[in-house]
Chain A
Amino acid sequence: MARITLPQAKFVRILFFLLIGVTTLSLARTFADSGDLSSTGTFGAAIGLAVPIGLAGLGGIWSERSGVANIGLEGMMILGTFGAGWAGWQWGPWVAIAAAVTYGALGALIFAIVTVSFGVDQIIAGTAINILGLGLTQFLAKLAFENAPGGGQTQSPPVSALPSFTITEISEPLSALQKEGIFFISDAAGLLSGLFYQVSIITLIAIALFILTAFILWKTSFGLRVRSAGENPWAAESLGVSVYKYKYIAVTISGALAGLAGAYLAIVGTNVYREGQTAGRGYIGLATMIFGNWRPGGTAAGATIFGYINALQLRDESNIGGLTLLGAIILIGIAVLMVARGMRGTGAALGLLGAALMSAFLFTTKMPTEVALVAPYVTTLLVLATASQSLRPPAADGVIYRRGESH
């Protein structure tokens, strides 16, 4: 049987995937003749949209690695947006960040008390946190912003901006190169220049947090204990690890990160707190965490993909053709891989869908916007559904653990 083996070393593997990704993108751009598919602006916007999703996903990693399924991320994020709006217009953006993080962490602390100490079902408690987060902020927003200058019942007064960085020496020549439209090189240039153009300080913090999380969870004894609580809390307790303590810490960190995601939306994404601002990004964060196999690297990649799709749609409707082609190429590529690995059935199904997308791109002049908007998510879902066989979630994720009880 033919087997395609991936390179073993992690670094080489990442490069390998990047190479394939950029080539695919390049193909789609060339054939769809849609330069915006890999422009500096698209990548810049993609990163901006990826940050809140990624931070929520990172929060999910902390919580779920400790064995607490955290569906309440959305609610903690809402608390974060309110905290940022409320503190931001009065004391500036830095205090706004601190307040958002604190509010998110407080929401998580309530969640931890309910789920860890009292053993309430985590999905129900998480849903309750989401409802609480929404209701509480609606109520508080009315009190806090109605009479404030420039504020309203559902919106805070504006928050002043945070610093952002552009390294002109790098981003401008790359951006120029991108406009040349050379196969592969221009696309890679576009991707790189996006990384150096108007990068918010929170984005930098987020990247640092991803690296820090990977280090703490996998390289320190503290991290090992957190993970052990999510894998087999009974075993951990029998070795003298205080499972409750580590769950409390991890869940609180989780909420703090969700709060920071909220801060990004309220300070960088817009410059106000607005009701309904999170728009389900907490859930999408959770989905990217699963996509990323409960690991920071994969979650970051997942968030970036979501951000990219989102960015293309928001920027220009003409991008949709290119996006459809990109989806078609990815689906067909994966289908070929699967057939080569002997999974004929799923491979064929994916291939058919890829062909359908391809013909939609080739033979329609204008696709219904609704279909076009949904297509990338369907693609992602399909890829997830067929790739999810090798996922390794924490073994005791979502399990109610009570100290001293045998299992």
Chain B
Amino acid sequence: MSETLNAVELVDICKRFPGVVANSNVNLKVRKGSAHAIVGENGAGKSTLMKILYGMQKADEGKILVDGKALVFESPSDAINVGVGMVHQHFMLADNLTVLENIILGSELKKGVKLDFAGAAKQVTDIAKRYRLELPLNEYVSELGVGDRQRIEILKVLYRGANILILDEPTAVLVPHEVDELFRALGDLKSEGITIIFISHKLDEVLEIADEITVMRAGTTVGSVNPKIQNVTAQDLAEMMVGSELPTPATTESTVTNNAVLVVNDLAVHTESGKAIVDHVSFKIHAGEIVGIAGVEGNGQSELLDALLGIVKSSGTVQFLEHNISNWPTRKRREHGIAYIPEDRQRQALLLEAPLWENRMLGHQTLPPNSKGFWLTPASAKSDTQRIVNEYDVRTPNIDVFASALSGGNQQKLIVGREMSGNPKLLIAAHPTRGVDVGAQAAIWDHLRAARAAGLAVLLISADLDELIGLSDSLKVILRGKFVADADPTTVTPQILGNAMTGAGAAA
């Protein structure tokens, strides 16, 4: 293997930020034309390493070799020039520009003083055809879904002639069939000789696609395995990552009681044009029960949650404990014990430019420990924030830093901790462990299980089907705003559930 040329070689990379060592003595060798996965917990330094390789940040020490040549990257342009391209975790796209404009930006074709749109469109179409990544080039990006946006990002990189492709957690935002589609595309790319560096913490996926896997822990590389030769399992990888056993979402025994906490009857949400997004659904959640809702994103899940929280107008009745809350405003619902973990943490759950303790108050600002009557009580809010940080293992220098300074997983832990505070009766949770590493995931699951045992009712929505099946006491499948099937989590498999979600088959 030492004969094959390495597309990328990183030698003893070190990178320090004020107060943190993000990378120390990182060594990495990526063979040409291989798919190389880098796995590790949140904050293990994967993203920093990739930013260094892409020229967005500069290493303090160490060497970068691309195709055997030592190089120094001052900016992404330098990386692009030697064929290194990156698909960011948070898409770097301009919504109000067309697909074509987004792709060619920065490396435009010219025809005299004019931009040669026709020529560029032809080039992009050729590349798209070759890798089967077709897209509507003249559409605005704002009109497109997540899967298409990712394809734009990949095309963007290929258009620049990249032969080394870095993907930062590419599957985090995708639903199962989009993941399959992505892996198919990556397979095509690989067969054309393109090297793929793939960051993930979804170990099953990594094992599926990677030719080689490098594990990072606490800012350094701890080892590499070759899944095609060595017999490694997800368990083995997880142990390398965290040095402990792989947690499972499975709940132990049923704690479901007979006390209905939430009774939803004939709930419907309509768009302005009168289309039913949530189409007259009815269900019950009991104390100590977790009801999971499976569905491809965009089938009414978000609207259902919004309706339960009173954020959007809905028809039908919602009974919460002994109250009919159908006409209650959101604040009142929250004060009576409905906790909420929203889908999009940065948009809906946090003030990024505010310290952690202010974020602790957010959504609970009318209740102790955050306030007393008219006045806020920052001192007790701060000490409670410290409690959350300790209990939920939020990795942060202190509680006065801005929420934006935390990694995604740690932001999520803070949110979960906040919402579990103050003894909620009902938790509405959307993707509670999205973008969270295995260690933190296990902790969040433990907290959910403990709360459930203590009588919490949970409505759970998750794109992670294993999590959904493992945690839920009962499962419902939502399709185009309607519950189309029930599933028994003790017998159903992700495959069956996945089929039911797309309407392809009935669940068990």
Contact = CB atoms under 8 A, between A and B. Distances in A.
Contacts of B75: 240
B97 A227 contact: yes
A215 to B, nearest CB: 8
Nearest to A220: B115
B121 to A, nearest CB: 14
B430 interface: no
Contacts of B88: 238
A114 to B, nearest CB: 20
B108 A235 contact: no
B92 A240 contact: no
Tell me which of B86, B95, B101, B106 has the highest count of chain A C-beta atoms within 10 A of its own C-beta.
B106
Contacts of A219: 114-115
B96 A238 contact: no
Nearest to B86: A238
Contact of A241 (B95, B106, B114, B156): B106
Contact of B76 (A220, A224, A239, A392): A239
Nearest to B108: A221
Contacts of B102: 235
A45 B325 CA distance: 62
A234 interface: yes
A220 B104 CA distance: 12
Given A228-B97, A231-B97, A395-B96, A236 B113 contact: no
Interface residues of A, number: 24
B110 A221 contact: yes
Nearest to A403: B75
Contacts of A238: 56, 76, 86, 88, 92
B94 A240 contact: no
Nearest to B157: A239
A232 B95 contact: yes
Interface in A212-266: 219-221, 223-225, 227-228, 231-232, 234-241
A394 interface: yes
A392 B156 CA distance: 24
B77 interface: yes
Tell me which of B90, B94, B96 has the highest count of chain A C-beta atoms within 10 A of its own C-beta.
B94
A71 B298 CA distance: 39
Given A235-B94, A238-B76, A220 B105 contact: no
B80 A231 contact: no
A395 B95 contact: yes
A228 B105 contact: yes
A155 to B, nearest CB: 43
A232 B156 CA distance: 15
Contacts of A406: 90
A297 B97 CA distance: 18
B93 interface: yes
B107 interface: yes
Contacts of B94: 227-228, 231-232, 235-236, 395
A240 B76 contact: yes
A407 B94 CA distance: 13
A340 to B, nearest CB: 15
Given A240-B75, A394-B96, A220 B106 contact: no
Contacts of B95: 231-232, 395
Contact of B96 (A231, A234, A237): A231
B96 A239 contact: no
Interface in B98-146: 101-102, 104-108, 110, 113-115
Nearest to A407: B90
A220 B96 CA distance: 17
- For the residues of B in contact with A, the DSSP-based class is loop
A290 to B, nearest CB: 15
A240 B80 contact: yes
A224 B92 contact: no
B142 to A, nearest CB: 9
B408 to A, nearest CB: 11
B343 to A, nearest CB: 19
A237 B76 CA distance: 8
Contacts of B108: 221, 224
B107 to A, nearest CB: 7
Nearest to A294: B96
Nearest to B116: A221
Contacts of B106: 225, 228, 236, 239-241
A392 B97 CA distance: 11
Contacts of A220: 113-115
Interface in B227-271: none
Contacts of A392: 96
Interface in B156-189: 156
A224 B93 contact: no
Contacts of B107: 239-240
Contact of A221 (B80, B86, B93, B115): B115
A297 B342 CA distance: 41
A241 B97 CA distance: 15
A407 B108 CA distance: 25
A121 to B, nearest CB: 13
A234 B88 CA distance: 11
A234 B101 contact: no
Nearest to A218: B115
Contacts of B115: 219-221, 223-224
Nearest to B352: A407
Contacts of A240: 75-77, 80, 106-107
Contacts of B76: 237-240
B445 to A, nearest CB: 29
Contacts of A235: 92-94, 102, 105
A232 B92 contact: yes
A224 B103 CA distance: 11
Interface string A382-405: 000000000010110000000010
A224 B105 contact: yes
Nearest to A232: B94
A61 to B, nearest CB: 14
A221 B100 CA distance: 12
Contacts of B114: 219-220
Contacts of A223: 115
B254 to A, nearest CB: 44
Contacts of A221: 108, 110, 115
A237 B86 CA distance: 13
Nearest to B97: A231
Contact of B105 (A234, A236, A404, A407): A236
14 contacts: A220-B114, A220-B115, A224-B97, A224-B105, A224-B108, A231-B95, A231-B96, A231-B97, A232-B92, A232-B94, A232-B95, A235-B94, A236-B106, A240-B107
Given A231-B95, A235-B102, 5 more contacts: A228-B105, A236-B106, A238-B88, A238-B92, A240-B75
The 10 A-B residue pairs with the shortest CB-CB distance, nearest first, are A239-B106, A231-B94, A240-B77, A221-B108, A235-B92, A232-B94, A221-B115, A241-B106, A240-B106, A238-B92
